Chain A
Amino acid sequence: GENVEQHPSTLSVQEGDSAVIKCTYSDSASNYFPWYKQELGKRPQLIIDIRSNVGEKKDQRIAVTLNKTAKHFSLHITETQPEDSAVYFCAARSGANNLFFGTGTRLTVIP
């Protein structure tokens, strides 16, 4: 089955700086890569996703890049704000299979 690895496990940045979270996957058939944000005590919520037929997708301050050859994808948050503090999970899926999640990154934005 799919194996998704995520780094770093924790990340602290100063407000206004950028944050980058990286994930690798093992199944070359995976074609869908969502990112979820989980605030403390809340449910995970989708913030952005990318399909295997594109290399980059942006939505305001967040962007995701995908390198299919290397089987890795990354989340980029620019101009970080305190409300960006949360745990972020990457995930990967092929076809109708289950989503496989990374182990999460706890992002802390220091005001």
Chain B
Amino acid sequence: GAGVSQSPSNKVTEKGKDVELRCDPISGHTALYWYRQSLGQGLEFLIYFQGNSAPDKSGLPSDRFSAERTGGSVSTLTIQRTQQEDSAVYLCASSLVPGGYNEQFFGPGTRLTVL
């Protein structure tokens, strides 16, 4: 079946502009995660939508970052007033249910470049 998809695959923007990154999880997956991966770095947790529970937003680096998940499926990560340090690959992942022993399946990522 179809895996996790993300769009766009690449995004170049100017400093100060807002960007929206989209994630389509695997159908039926109730948990969705966003991570940021800077060049050569690890996976920095941003936000976690855990089914019907309130999202875990503890990883969002500033109030310029926000995310929503409408209808329990597609998620959008929004970065307002982008800064050069926001340049990174943004990865989305989904799992069948939150936590437990459930595998997280990653999308291909969106490479964001802020000029």
Report which A residues bind B (CB closer than 8 A). Answer: 1, 32, 34, 36, 42-46, 49, 51, 89, 93, 95-104
Q: Does B103 contact A (CB under 8 A)?
A: yes
Q: Which of the 9-residue segments B21-29, B39-47, B60-68, B74-82 touches chain A?
A: B39-47
Q: Do A95 and B103 touch (CB < 8 A)?
A: no
Count residues of B near A (Cβ-Cβ below 8 Å).
Answer: 23
Q: CB-CB < 8 A to B59: which residues of A?
A: 98
Across-interface contacts of A98 in B (CB, < 8 A): 33, 45, 48, 56, 59, 99
* A99 and B109 form a contact (CB under 8 A): no
**Majority SS at the chain B contact face:** loop
What are the residues of chain A within 8 A of B42 when measuring CB–CB?
Answer: 89, 101-104
The 6 closest A-B pairs by CB, nearest first: A96-B99, A103-B42, A43-B106, A101-B43, A96-B98, A98-B48
Contact B100 A46 (CB under 8 A): no
- Using CB atoms, name the residue of chain B closest to A93: B99
Q: Which residues of B contact A1 (CB under 8 A)?
A: 58
Instruction: Find B104's partner among A96, A97, A99, A104 (CB 8 Å cutoff).
Output: A99
Q: Are A96 and B109 in contact (CB under 8 A)?
A: no
**B91 interface residue (CB < 8 Å to A):** yes
| Contact call A95/B100, Cβ cutoff below 8 A | yes
Which B89-115 residues have a C-beta within 8 angstroms of A?
Answer: 91, 98-101, 103-104, 106-109
Residue B50 at the chain A interface, CB threshold 8 Å: yes
Please state if A46 and B103 are interface contacts (CB–CB under 8 Å): yes
Docked pose: A42 CA to B58 CA in angstroms: 26
Instruction: Please judge, given known A-B contacts A34-B103, A95-B99, A98-B33, whether A43 and B109 are in contact too, CB under 8 Å.
Output: yes
Please indicate the chain A residues that have their CB under 8 angstroms from the CB of B98 in the complex. 96
Q: Is B43 a contact of A43 with CB atoms below 8 Å?
A: no
